[in-house]
Amino acid sequence: MTELLTPELKACIGREAPPRTEVVTRRDIRKYAISTGTRIRKHLDGDEAPPLYHVALFWDVVELDQLTPDGVSVDTLLPKLPLDRAMAGGLEITYHRPIVPGDVLVARRTLTDLYEKAGRSGPLIFYEITLDVRTEDGSPVLEEVTTRILR
């Protein structure tokens, strides 16, 4: 198999995006809970965020013409890779405590792995991004590891 990942691309492992800070509001928790169809009262009342509330919280807000064909914004944390058809590879989330109204959350994203494998229909590139979310005083809230596959 021909190596697609050059030493320069592999050197990007460990690259970090600038931290992002967001304030959690009761109203936003309620809107998310209603939109996802939860029936749990503490979520509907906005007392505690439902699971996965954080997923889009730190995404860029961009105009529609700045989205890729699959509807997401370009991830500036990643280098330009030789394959570009993306597929979900996995999502692992460790929650340390609930997200509640008034939290000031700071998210740090890091490219934690980049490797390739041979697939049945050709080469595949895998990458992992770790999202570490803490309160502004540094208390851990959650850690998310996302794996994506490019072909």
Domain residue spans of the chain: 7-150
> In this structure, what token pair is assigned to residue 73?
């914004």
35 phi and psi angles, rounded to 5 deg? -65, -25
Position 105 pLDDT exceeds 80: yes
Bridge partners of residue 123, in order along the sequence: 118
Of 126, 56, 57, 119, nearest in space to 87 by CA: 126
Contact status, residue 78 vs residue 87, Cβ threshold 8 Å: no
pLDDT in tens, 72-82: 787 889 999 99
- The arrangement of secondary structure in 7-150, i.e. its CATH architecture, is Roll (3.10)
pLDDT number for residue 34: 97
Average pLDDT on 54-60 reads 90
pTM over 0.95: no
CB neighbour list of residue 148: distance below 8 Å, 6 or more residues apart: 86, 87, 88, 89, 126, 127, 128, 129
**Is 14 strand, coil or helix?**
coil
> In this structure, what token pair is assigned to residue 138?
């540094």
Position 18 pLDDT exceeds 80: yes
The per-residue DSSP string of 107-137 comes to EEEEEEEEEEEEETTEEEEEEEEEEEEEETT
pLDDT in tens, 112-124: 999 999 988 899 9
Of 113, 115, 117, 103, nearest in space to 145 by CA: 113
